[in-house]
Copies of this chain bind each other. A is one copy, B any other.
Amino acid sequence: METVKNFLKQKATNLRIHSILSTSEAGSGHPTTCLSAADIVSALFFHAMRYDCSDPQNPNNDRFILSKGHAAPLLYAAYAEAGIIPTDKLCTLRQIDSILEGHPTPRFAWTEVATGSLGQGLSLGLGMALNGKYLDESDYRVYVLLGDGETAEGGVWEAAALASHYKLNNLIGIVDVNALGQSQRTMYAFDIDTYCQRFEAFGWQTVGIDGHDFEEILPALAQAKASTDKPTMIVAKTFKGKGVSFLEDADNWHGKALAKGEELDKALAELGPLNLDVPVQIESPPAVDTNANLSKTECEPPDYPPDEDVATRGGYGVGLAKLGSANPNVVALDGDTKNSTYAEQFMELHPNRYFEMFIAEQNLVGAGIGLAKRGKIPFVSTFAAFLSRAYDQIRMSAISQANIKYAGSHCGVSIGEDGPSQMGLEDIAMFRAIPEAVVLYPSDAVSAERLVAEAAAHNGIVYLRTSRPQTPILYDADERFYISGCKVIRQDSADKATVVAAGVTLHEALKAHETLAAEGIAIRIIDLYSIKPVDTEALMAAAAETNNTLITVEDHYPEGGLGDAVLEAVATEDVHVHKLAVTGIPRSGKPEELLEHHGISASAIVQKVRDVIA
């Protein structure tokens, strides 16, 4: 123990020195937050964890998630001390051409998943733990280092509940209780018992320790590893700034780097020199045969009776189940809405790859991200409106470059009587704003099925928007649909304007087409099932042939949705875009009444066409 202790102490000192040096060089960063966790990280990286130093993606590596992402310099220091990155790279921290960013991102290959928005790490870890225990059946463990202040985040407790429910003994959390948040003391200061009681109440094994004493850290980690059916939370009492007297537990040092010169020199003098001869021996997990070619997404074709109305959410359910049969990497998660989103069809066919995540959308998404980073293709579903509950996690999934698919059902006023709390009306805006996200909005069950497969075939974030009402089948079973595509479903040389729609409003546009035809007015209709990226060429071509007049109609608020996507595509051209969307805050009512009331019905389209061509 003594040798091990001394070794880990020396490594921890090195981590402290690196953290201080790199942040001082950068002129910014969170050194005191690194100092409180240095001993814990030393114990994890140089004693407890098993990982393949030549391969961050080895599927059997223990996983480490820095939930308190602002301790990034400590993370990078650990990899330097593990011999994985050169130590002299540490001083490039936060520079514009460095892979070592202010908070961890996948630009640094050893970042499991991007963090920095607090309270998300435990969900990310939960996803990886679910993967390890139930999918890969690997014996890797997932370690999540949290700050104490961040345990105020509800996301932590969503993950805590699900982790014990799923008996994730391979999930080990450590809370770094240094009692200082960003702007003041935390609610519980050094009250370790309160943290322990809370995690215990949530079904975890808990161990309270002195986070600077290896004689407590190491046994706690051993105890955690020995758990057979419960996740473990190690609650570590620490001091922010530990190791430097004028930083230890001092107020007003959050997020401040030491100034080069006297301040920095003083700190370094206290820490002593870098311990240079402390080679590590990191246990590597067994090698793995990766099953290549798990990229199949060709599914059984759609098969609907032509006269039967089917909701696009129905097409999603069927398509997802078929996709699960085609590709064993596809997994599904839902937030107690599976009988509404129809994720339940996947569950029935592939129960081992379906995870019920209950009414907790932040964790639903976070776990999905974790699964995606472990090589699965997760389809995460709930009502479109409730994806807004996880918008921070969705935002972070882009920074993580996660290959994750989101499905939001019950979009728009067309859900009817349940009313506005259940209506997704800003979800297109949410997802359009996510860099590189694909946004798909199928208008019938055939295209819904096909686009589920397209989503899986695409590498990156995809959002699929589905509707509640049953609508007619529009397309033949062999019709194909592509990201960035669209369908011109009505066209005539006499077309006076083009109506661009998707989902329920496409069907309203078809009704409007008939009404107007009877009046001798022809309109073109485009099914804009790919809202991002959008088929600019097709839009421009249609505009050119229809008086440069586009009328967009969407079951969504006016801002940020289908209409704005069209506007953006034609922004630098002389094309006029007339936007119809849901005006005002919606209310309960029958779907058809609401479409009328909120200005997106067939008659609203008819009236707009008449006004515009006059």
Give A contacts to B, CB under 8 Å.
Answer: 26-29, 69-70, 94-96, 98, 101-103, 105, 107, 114-119, 149-150, 152-158, 161-162, 165, 181-184, 186-187, 194, 197-198, 200-202, 334, 336-340, 344, 356, 358-363, 385-386, 388-389, 391-392, 394-396, 398-399, 401, 416-422, 425-426, 429-430, 432-436, 532, 557-561, 563-565, 567-568, 571-574, 576-579, 584-585, 587-590, 593-594, 597
In the assembled complex, which residues on chain B have CB atoms less than 8 Å from the CB atom of A594? Answer: 96
In the assembled complex, which residues on chain B have CB atoms less than 8 Å from the CB atom of A565? Answer: 559
**Residue picked from A183, A198, A568, most chain B C-beta under 10 Å:** A183
Additional 15 contacts, C-beta under 8 A, given A96-B587, A154-B154, A154-B156: A94-B588, A95-B588, A103-B421, A115-B421, A116-B419, A153-B158, A161-B187, A183-B334, A184-B356, A388-B394, A401-B585, A430-B433, A559-B568, A568-B579, A572-B576
Contact between chains at B398 and A388 (CB < 8 Å): no
Closest Cβ of chain B: how far from A582's Cβ, in Å?
A: 8
Contact between chains at B422 and A103 (CB < 8 Å): yes
In the assembled complex, which residues on chain B have CB atoms less than 8 Å from the CB atom of A339? Answer: 182-183
Closest Cβ of chain B: how far from A181's Cβ, in Å?
A: 5
- Give the contacting residue for A103; candidates B118, B356, B418; CB below 8 A: B418
Nearest B residue to A203, CB-CB: B194
7 contacts between A and B (CB under 8 A): A28-B418, A101-B419, A117-B421, A149-B336, A181-B358, A184-B356, A388-B395
Contact between chains at A435 and B158 (CB < 8 Å): no
Nearest B residue to A164, CB-CB: B187
- Give the contacting residue for A388; candidates B118, B336, B391, B416; CB below 8 A: B391
A340, B158: Cα distance in complex, Å:
28
Contact between chains at A102 and B360 (CB < 8 Å): no
In the assembled complex, which residues on chain B have CB atoms less than 8 Å from the CB atom of A155? Answer: 154
Known A102-B418, A102-B588, A359-B150; contact A198-B187, beta-carbon cutoff 8 A? no
In the assembled complex, which residues on chain B have CB atoms less than 8 Å from the CB atom of A563? Answer: 568
Closest Cβ of chain B: how far from A187's Cβ, in Å?
A: 5
- Give the contacting residue for A395; candidates B198, B385, B561, B593; CB below 8 A: B385
- Give the contacting residue for A200; candidates B154, B201, B399, B561; CB below 8 A: B201
In the assembled complex, which residues on chain B have CB atoms less than 8 Å from the CB atom of A417? Answer: 26-29, 94, 102
Contact between chains at A560 and B557 (CB < 8 Å): no
Contact between chains at B558 and A391 (CB < 8 Å): no
Nearest B residue to A572, CB-CB: B576
Closest Cβ of chain B: how far from A607's Cβ, in Å?
A: 16
* 7 shortest interchain CB distances as A-B pairs: A154-B154, A116-B421, A96-B589, A426-B433, A560-B560, A101-B588, A201-B201
Known A26-B417, A103-B419, A593-B96; contact A152-B359, beta-carbon cutoff 8 A? yes
Closest Cβ of chain B: how far from A590's Cβ, in Å?
A: 7
In the assembled complex, which residues on chain B have CB atoms less than 8 Å from the CB atom of A559? Answer: 429, 432-433, 532, 560, 564-565, 568
A304, B361: Cα distance in complex, Å:
45
A187, B166: Cα distance in complex, Å:
10
Contact between chains at A358 and B392 (CB < 8 Å): no
Contact between chains at A588 and B98 (CB < 8 Å): yes
**Residue picked from A165, A181, A336, A532, most chain B C-beta under 10 Å:** A336
Closest Cβ of chain B: how far from A71's Cβ, in Å?
A: 13
A154, B361: Cα distance in complex, Å:
9
A119, B363: Cα distance in complex, Å:
14
A117, B576: Cα distance in complex, Å:
38
Closest Cβ of chain B: how far from A313's Cβ, in Å?
A: 14
Contact between chains at B158 and A560 (CB < 8 Å): no
Contact between chains at A564 and B573 (CB < 8 Å): no
Known A152-B359, A386-B392; contact A105-B420, beta-carbon cutoff 8 A? yes
Known A94-B417, A337-B183; contact A564-B568, beta-carbon cutoff 8 A? yes
In the assembled complex, which residues on chain B have CB atoms less than 8 Å from the CB atom of A150? Answer: 359
In the assembled complex, which residues on chain B have CB atoms less than 8 Å from the CB atom of A557? Answer: 433-435
Contact between chains at B399 and A420 (CB < 8 Å): yes
Closest Cβ of chain B: how far from A191's Cβ, in Å?
A: 11
A597, B149: Cα distance in complex, Å:
34
Nearest B residue to A432, CB-CB: B559
Nearest B residue to A182, CB-CB: B336
In the assembled complex, which residues on chain B have CB atoms less than 8 Å from the CB atom of A356? Answer: 183-184
Known A201-B200, A432-B560; contact A359-B181, beta-carbon cutoff 8 A? yes
In the assembled complex, which residues on chain B have CB atoms less than 8 Å from the CB atom of A28? Answer: 416-418
In the assembled complex, which residues on chain B have CB atoms less than 8 Å from the CB atom of A162? Answer: 152
A559, B161: Cα distance in complex, Å:
36
Closest Cβ of chain B: how far from A226's Cβ, in Å?
A: 24
A154, B154: Cα distance in complex, Å:
4
Contact between chains at B117 and A340 (CB < 8 Å): no
Contact between chains at B585 and A435 (CB < 8 Å): yes
A567, B181: Cα distance in complex, Å:
42
In the assembled complex, which residues on chain B have CB atoms less than 8 Å from the CB atom of A419? Answer: 94, 101-103, 105, 116
Contact between chains at A590 and B385 (CB < 8 Å): no
**Residue picked from A98, A103, A186, A578, most chain B C-beta under 10 Å:** A103
Closest Cβ of chain B: how far from A591's Cβ, in Å?
A: 10
Contact between chains at B576 and A571 (CB < 8 Å): yes
A614, B576: Cα distance in complex, Å:
24
Known A336-B181, A571-B579, A594-B96; contact A398-B585, beta-carbon cutoff 8 A? yes
Nearest B residue to A116, CB-CB: B421
In the assembled complex, which residues on chain B have CB atoms less than 8 Å from the CB atom of A386? Answer: 117, 392
Contact between chains at B429 and A589 (CB < 8 Å): no
A532, B425: Cα distance in complex, Å:
18
Closest Cβ of chain B: how far from A498's Cβ, in Å?
A: 14
Closest Cβ of chain B: how far from A241's Cβ, in Å?
A: 17
